[in-house]
Amino acid sequence: MSEKNKPAGGFDAALQAVRRYLMEQGNRFDRGPAYEGHGKVLDSVKQTVRMYEGMGYVKLMEFGDPPAYAMLERGHREVHIFEPQDPKIRAWLEGDEAVLNDPAMRAYQSQQSGLNEKDLPVAAKSRRFHINEVDNVFIATAEDE
C-alpha cells in the first residue's frame, strides 16, 4: 500500500510510537548547534536520509508524504531525522533557552500522543539523544549509554 493510500491514522499511530520510544524513562536530550545553510545544506528529510544512507546507515522507517520523519541505524548508532509538524514542539526545539528535558514539554508531548508518563516504559538501554538543526531539518543521534 502506498503512503498516499494508507489510512489517515497511520501517520498519527506511527508518530505516537516514535514519541513513546523517544520518551522512554531514562532517555535524555542534549542540544547541539544549529546550522544555517540558507536552505542549501539539507532542505528536506528525504535529502537528509539519502545523505545518511550514503554514509552506510540503513533506513529502518520513513513516513509522511513528503517524509516528515525517518529513523536510520548503523551499528549501535541511531539517527532520527524529522521536521516537526507541531508549531509548539518546533518552537521548543528552536528556542536556545528552552530546556530539552523540560517536564512541561514531556507532559505536552505525552498528551499529544495520548500517553501518560506512568504508561511510558523504562528504557531497556538509556539513550542520550543529541539534537542538531540544519536549516529546517532536525537530526537526533543517539548511542546506548
In tens, the pLDDT along 97-145 reads: 888 888 888 888 888 878 888 888 899 888 999 999 888 899 999 865 5
Of 15-24, 32-41, 42-51, 57-66, the least confident: 32-41
**Residues constituting the chain:** 145
Give residue for cell 542538531: 132
Residue (of 139, 143, 141) closest to 34 by Cα position? 139
- Binning pLDDT at 50, 70 and 90, where does residue 20 land? confident
Cell of 85: 509538524
Q: Which three cell numbers stand for residue 106?
A: 514531556
Residue 7 pLDDT greater than 60, yes or no: no
Average predicted confidence (pLDDT) for the chain = 84
Whether 127 and 34 have beta carbons less than 8 Å apart is answered as: no
| 75: alpha, beta or left? (left if phi > 0; alpha if psi -120 to 50) | left
* Confidence class for position 9, pLDDT limits 50, 70, 90: low
Map grid coordinates 535529502 to a residue: 47
The residues spanned by each domain of the chain are 3-144
CA distances from 109 to 64, 89, 112, 126 (A): 19, 8, 5, 19
Residue 53 has pLDDT above 80, yes or no: yes
What pLDDT was estimated at residue 36? Answer: 67
